[in-house]
A and B are shown apart, each in its own frame.
Chain A
């Protein structure tokens, strides 16, 4: 069995690192490290030592200039002490077989960096963005989700329905053009969708679809299936008492399952 070391990255307004690290521990990681962005820059922490990288939720740079916009530029233009642009280290981590999970603000960062949906060509170009919810409001509410069984995503493999909170103001997926959106569907890169509570079908109806994302898109993967970005917060459902109906005996698969799937995929690797 492979050892799995998880790196949870924080700094500059990220704020879900603590519970994300806890979820990774519950999911069975052998070691979980929470590091500040500055430690990467200083070279004290190197991506190479980890197999699983998580960009947790938060408000990078206060959402100024648009969610994760400034942070995406920081990844692209900031260099480590050894002079390598950080984004190259990220690319190398991924090319080496690493898993990447971006949650909420982390998802926004991955699309703005061009890591998602990913062209598979190794170049990073922004193809989709995440913009203001149709309600033009930040909202905290739980949503019903369904995983796409045809998606190559290792995190959602074998999962069907999920129930998780969304907590964002900028979660509506906007593609560069219609062809880009079509390609997401054709390549099954949509990993998770907002669905109606009763029918289980993807929905455009507010508030089941909290932001107006086309096709109810809540999460994207890349062609390799090793990157997942999603607006809902799996780490926020880490205990039965997180469920808003738990006092009524209601339950659903813990969000931690998504992380456990990623770790299982790493362990299973030859």
Chain B
């Protein structure tokens, strides 16, 4: 028997959710509705009538102060309505509220454990739409706002249909399947190249021909054939083996492009590359430009080297103080977020949380960062097929990260929204997490771990379903009405929180030897990686707890079902480990043993279903050989006439121009997003995303106090500049590194104690029919790597972790959109004493305003050029030596208490930075541009105001400390450009010529209006 429990608000309670839906319909879809009422529906299976009545009587699913609950359809609160539509989950999609409802019902009714087999609760939401809405509009609202048909079902009735037959039939979202232990063998022997590739394509294996051949050759080795016969395995690979190989060798896990052998040439003609004498052979970008510079920097630091574990674990680890280590990881979740922005981003954030959780012996989670790269939310052109509107993507990812971060109790302290037309094709969703661990846990250094032969393989956390098998390579067309939606996953922060509470307790009690997370590739990846420590494993898939029947062994191995970790537990600790898990309401299951047999050995019960040589599994991937050809795009100056003539004044309305720039998407206030993220939980917030006299001014970087009883602080910042990519990815990357360092220094970070995380998001850089410009895109990647190496070395910032995502293209129906190549450079740094930290808002009238650094005519990719619809402009170049010296001097000034405010200059240049400081303090300033250090000496005023030259900062200093401050910058580019004033007007002149006079409140309005949703 199925019951539908409807829960609606009592008449006197405001329907805030209904109101929000109503305003979203008008704001985001432009459809006018009179009102929306929301009703929650719980479909309950497996209870008898007496039990369901008890559920209502005991107020299990509703709050009697707020709600009314009924087994019949509730009447419409407004009496009349035009449409009623109900949104429910498709089978197999994570329904977090349904799970909590089931647990609560079971507890209140005292149901036996395990629960009766047919007992389950499913949730859905019924919306009543009132107003003049036709069917097209109703379906538009359903499909493009309230539901995502990939994961949800929509039922729809108009008011007369509803009157004739009220309600919707009760329906479950159960996955129906039979238990399966079936494996198949795939014969590779004697097949043609085309046939091998067909197997790869059809199986969504993403293996190249070279890789298929390597696999075929492995199975033809005589010693392998003999070994397989001895184990009762067929000569040909089983599906379990082929899938494990495909997963382990995937670009996602193996980073084959970053490890490829690359020949890099420079050519002036893009289409007929002529080998130039300067051709460069690169054996692995990763080893050459990331690993090696980090090793060099560490060597240079000598005894001061604070790196503890770089690139080998789930996250990089550095020393924070004598007793604590910090670890950091940043991931992307682009494809899933494109399909289902909410689920994709939520899974992204709770997924990256598991990286620090599974680093070393496991870290406590300190804070999250998020950077979203999106198309314009105001996009008003027709969308290419299958793409979601950027506003919807933004709302979905915002909410996903909100739920993932807030519900996990991890503050989201730093981030960015970056807008660019080409992110329409694929959003880039970066999620990062910083963790902390005691330097020693249970008597051992916390940053090392090792699974030993004999240790038990224990899976902890959620159960395994068909979620995320083959990751996001599945397309929506392959989903059917009753098949589980495998392409998209929805994270479950509470199941993860419970697991996390348990793991931290188990860690401190020394109950496990090693731990890692189950992310991409599921058990295949986590057990496979840990088995490298011991030298093999023996895994029994039949023991794995499943969400539902119907998974084949290879699916159990590959499933990317969330909220799971794998631990190596010593046999003598197994009982204690499992008992603690049971007590803390966390599922933990022993699945086998780590061994030293040299084999990745997989059983289903007693039957061997796969056995692979560990060395072949992890090191058998053939190295790719790729070509890169760089042809520098022509760069030219912006025509000076367009900027108001040679002096930059002409007939430019500078007041208006500044307001326009402040309102641009890449400049404007992101308060709408920031406030919906808990950025203060854990109690250590020092520099928040918004500060100043009205707490609405921007800051440059986050500072937290990880240890509440100490004053040492952790700085988190980032740099990201895809707008320079089309000009030269070398400078795009140089600017990203510089921006991250500059932001961190601006709040008080010590430039000698910083570590970086590099995340590359590229469009496919492998030359092929699909990608005729692959050689150029690969050259862009090479140049980007070169810049990363050069600037990390110059600034002495070691990279300690990173990730790449190389296929960020959209290609449907002949339309191809490739994202601008993007590097996110995230940074963690240390401040000795948080009480020295500085925010960007103007503090006191009469404080002197200094501009540090040199301004050049660098308007390429700038906000100004884009706002004025101009073309050209030179890309900003980064003077590492001068900047490095400046950052150290500024840090010394901050430590000496000489700096009242500091702010970095980035998008929108000097004028924007001045306006932001004025907004933060709601104070004005009098500024003179006449003596700004610039190259060439004389620049148009508009260029001075809006050039985005790197390495520059604005600093406020009390008048009586000017001498001491200036002395620290002797010989450096520094200019006193004016002072703060009480009157809230930003006044800018050039010698005697007035340029701009803007009331601060008007600037604030311009800056805040764009995303004031």
Q: Does the CB pair B584–A11 fall under 8 Å?
A: yes
Q: Does the CB pair B691–A245 fall under 8 Å?
A: yes
Cα(A235)–Cα(B409), bound, Å: 14
**Segment among A70-78, A92-100, A147-155 that sits at the interface with chain B:** A70-78
Knowing that A13-B497, A134-B16, A248-B693 are A-B contacts, what are 12 other residue pairs whose CB atoms are under 8 Å apart, sorted by A's residue number?
A15-B497, A19-B682, A63-B407, A129-B65, A132-B17, A135-B16, A136-B19, A137-B676, A140-B678, A236-B685, A241-B837, A248-B921
Q: Is A226 an interface residue (CB 8 A)?
A: no
Q: Does the CB pair A131–B708 fall under 8 Å?
A: no
Q: Is B688 an interface residue (CB 8 A)?
A: yes
Q: Does the CB pair B16–A132 fall under 8 Å?
A: yes
Instruction: List the A residue with the shortest CB-CB distance to B843.
Output: A248
Partner of B65, one of A19, A64, A139, A175: A175
Q: Is B700 an interface residue (CB 8 A)?
A: no
Q: Is B108 an interface residue (CB 8 A)?
A: yes
**A residues near B674, Cβ cutoff 8 Å:** 140
**B residues near A157, Cβ cutoff 8 Å:** none
Cα(A61)–Cα(B63), bound, Å: 15
Instruction: List the B residue with the shortest CB-CB distance to A207.
Output: B675
Cα(A10)–Cα(B685), bound, Å: 21
Partner of B835, one of A58, A69, A241: A241
- Please give the number of chain B residues whose Cβ is less than 8 angstroms from any Cβ of chain A in the complex: 72
Q: Is A174 an interface residue (CB 8 A)?
A: yes
By a beta-carbon cutoff of 8 Å, the part of chain A in contact with chain B is 10-16, 18-19, 22-23, 36, 38, 42, 57-59, 61-66, 69-70, 73-74, 77-78, 112, 126-129, 131-142, 165, 167, 172, 174-176, 212, 233, 235-236, 238-242, 244-245, 247-248
Q: Does the CB pair B103–A70 fall under 8 Å?
A: yes
What is the minimal beta-carbon distance from A92 to any residue of chain B, in angstroms?
A: 22
Cα(A247)–Cα(B686), bound, Å: 9
Partner of B402, one of A138, A175, A233: A138
Residue from the set B17, B99, B100 with the largest chain A CB neighbour count within 10 Å: B100
**B residues near A248, Cβ cutoff 8 Å:** 692-693, 839, 841, 843, 921
Partner of A244, one of B99, B410, B678, B688: B688
Q: Does the CB pair B837–A64 fall under 8 Å?
A: no
Say whether, besides A176-B65, A247-B691, A64 and B97 are in contact (CB < 8 Å): yes
Q: Is B834 an interface residue (CB 8 A)?
A: yes
Cα(A165)–Cα(B410), bound, Å: 16
Map CB proximity to A onto B92-110 as digits: 1 under 8 Å, 0 otherwise: 0000110111011001101
Q: Does the CB pair B63–A140 fall under 8 Å?
A: no
Q: Does the CB pair A167–B681 fall under 8 Å?
A: yes
Q: Does the CB pair A74–B107 fall under 8 Å?
A: yes
What are the nearest 8 A-B pairs in CB distance? A15-B409, A19-B683, A64-B100, A136-B20, A129-B65, A62-B494, A247-B839, A64-B97
**Which B residues between 806 and 861 are near A, CB-CB below 8 angstroms?**
834-835, 837-839, 841, 843
**A residues near B110, Cβ cutoff 8 Å:** 77
**B residues near A172, Cβ cutoff 8 Å:** 16
Cα(A64)–Cα(B60), bound, Å: 12
Q: Does the CB pair A65–B104 fall under 8 Å?
A: yes
Q: Does the CB pair A241–B705 fall under 8 Å?
A: yes
Say whether, besides A73-B60, A73-B104, A174-B65, A235 and B584 are in contact (CB < 8 Å): no
**Which B residues between 75 and 113 are near A, CB-CB below 8 angstroms?**
96-97, 99-101, 103-104, 107-108, 110
Say whether, besides A13-B407, A126-B63, A139 and B683 are in contact (CB < 8 Å): no
Q: Does the CB pair B675–A140 fall under 8 Å?
A: yes
What is the minimal beta-carbon distance from B860 to any residue of chain A, in angstroms?
A: 34
Q: Does the CB pair B708–A141 fall under 8 Å?
A: no
Q: Does the CB pair A16–B708 fall under 8 Å?
A: no
**Which B residues between 368 and 410 are near A, CB-CB below 8 angstroms?**
402-403, 406-410
Cα(A102)–Cα(B611), bound, Å: 55
What is the minimal beta-carbon distance from A72 to any residue of chain B, in angstroms?
A: 9
What is the minimal beta-carbon distance from B904 to any residue of chain A, in angstroms?
A: 16
Q: Does the CB pair A140–B501 fall under 8 Å?
A: no
Q: Does the CB pair B695–A13 fall under 8 Å?
A: no
Say whether, besides A11-B584, A16-B681, A236-B685, A245 and B107 are in contact (CB < 8 Å): no
**Which B residues between 668 and 705 are near A, CB-CB below 8 angstroms?**
674-688, 690-693, 695, 705
How many A-B contacts are there with CB distance less than 8 Å? 187
**B residues near A212, Cβ cutoff 8 Å:** 14
Q: Is B61 an interface residue (CB 8 A)?
A: yes
Cα(A169)–Cα(B492), bound, Å: 18
What is the minimal beta-carbon distance from B73 to any residue of chain A, in angstroms?
A: 20
Q: Does the CB pair A23–B695 fall under 8 Å?
A: no
Q: Does the CB pair B101–A236 fall under 8 Å?
A: no
Q: Is B415 an interface residue (CB 8 A)?
A: no
Q: Does the CB pair B107–A78 fall under 8 Å?
A: yes
Partner of A140, one of B103, B680, B709: B680
**A residues near B19, Cβ cutoff 8 Å:** 136
Say whether, besides A59-B494, A129-B63, A244-B688, A64 and B705 are in contact (CB < 8 Å): no
Cα(A259)–Cα(B110), bound, Å: 38
**B residues near A242, Cβ cutoff 8 Å:** 680, 683, 685-686
Instruction: List the B residue with the shortest CB-CB distance to A21.
Output: B708
**B residues near A134, Cβ cutoff 8 Å:** 14, 16
What is the minimal beta-carbon distance from A5 to any residue of chain B, in angstroms?
A: 20
Cα(A59)–Cα(B692), bound, Å: 29
Q: Does the CB pair B60–A141 fall under 8 Å?
A: no
Instruction: List the A residue with the shortest CB-CB distance to B699.
Output: A247
Instruction: List the B residue with the shortest CB-CB distance to A63.
Output: B407
Q: Does the CB pair B695–A65 fall under 8 Å?
A: no
**Which B residues between 701 and 718 are near A, CB-CB below 8 angstroms?**
705, 708-709
**A residues near B709, Cβ cutoff 8 Å:** 22
Q: Does the CB pair A131–B13 fall under 8 Å?
A: yes
**Which B residues between 35 and 49 are near A, CB-CB below 8 angstroms?**
none
Q: Does the CB pair A66–B63 fall under 8 Å?
A: yes
Q: Does the CB pair B683–A238 fall under 8 Å?
A: yes
Q: Does the CB pair B100–A65 fall under 8 Å?
A: yes
Q: Does the CB pair A11–B501 fall under 8 Å?
A: yes
**A residues near B492, Cβ cutoff 8 Å:** 62
Say whether, besides A238-B683, A241-B686, A38 and B583 are in contact (CB < 8 Å): yes
Cα(A40)–Cα(B462), bound, Å: 24
Cα(A73)–Cα(B110), bound, Å: 12
Instruction: List the B residue with the shortest CB-CB distance to A137.
Output: B676
Q: Is B66 an interface residue (CB 8 A)?
A: yes
Cα(A184)–Cα(B674), bound, Å: 34
Instruction: List the B residue with the shortest CB-CB distance to A70.
Output: B104
Q: Is B553 an interface residue (CB 8 A)?
A: no
Q: Does the CB pair B685–A138 fall under 8 Å?
A: no
Q: Is B493 an interface residue (CB 8 A)?
A: yes
**A residues near B421, Cβ cutoff 8 Å:** none
**B residues near A236, Cβ cutoff 8 Å:** 680-681, 683, 685
Supply 6 A–B pairs (Cβ within 8 Å), ascending by A.
A22-B683, A38-B584, A140-B675, A239-B708, A247-B687, A247-B843
Instruction: List the A residue with the shortest CB-CB distance to B707.
Output: A22
Instruction: List the B residue with the shortest CB-CB distance to A237.
Output: B683
Say whether, besides A132-B16, A139-B676, A241-B837, A64 and B96 are in contact (CB < 8 Å): yes
Cα(A175)–Cα(B63), bound, Å: 12
Q: Does the CB pair B684–A59 fall under 8 Å?
A: no
What is the minimal beta-carbon distance from B954 to any residue of chain A, in angstroms?
A: 15
Partner of B66, one of A10, A133, A135, A174: A174
Partner of B680, one of A62, A132, A165, A176: A165
**B residues near A138, Cβ cutoff 8 Å:** 402, 406, 676, 678
Cα(A42)–Cα(B585), bound, Å: 12
Q: Does the CB pair A18–B693 fall under 8 Å?
A: no
**Which B residues between 632 and 676 are near A, CB-CB below 8 angstroms?**
674-676
**B residues near A23, Cβ cutoff 8 Å:** 683
What is the minimal beta-carbon distance from B855 to any residue of chain A, in angstroms?
A: 27
Q: Is B888 an interface residue (CB 8 A)?
A: no
**A residues near B61, Cβ cutoff 8 Å:** 65
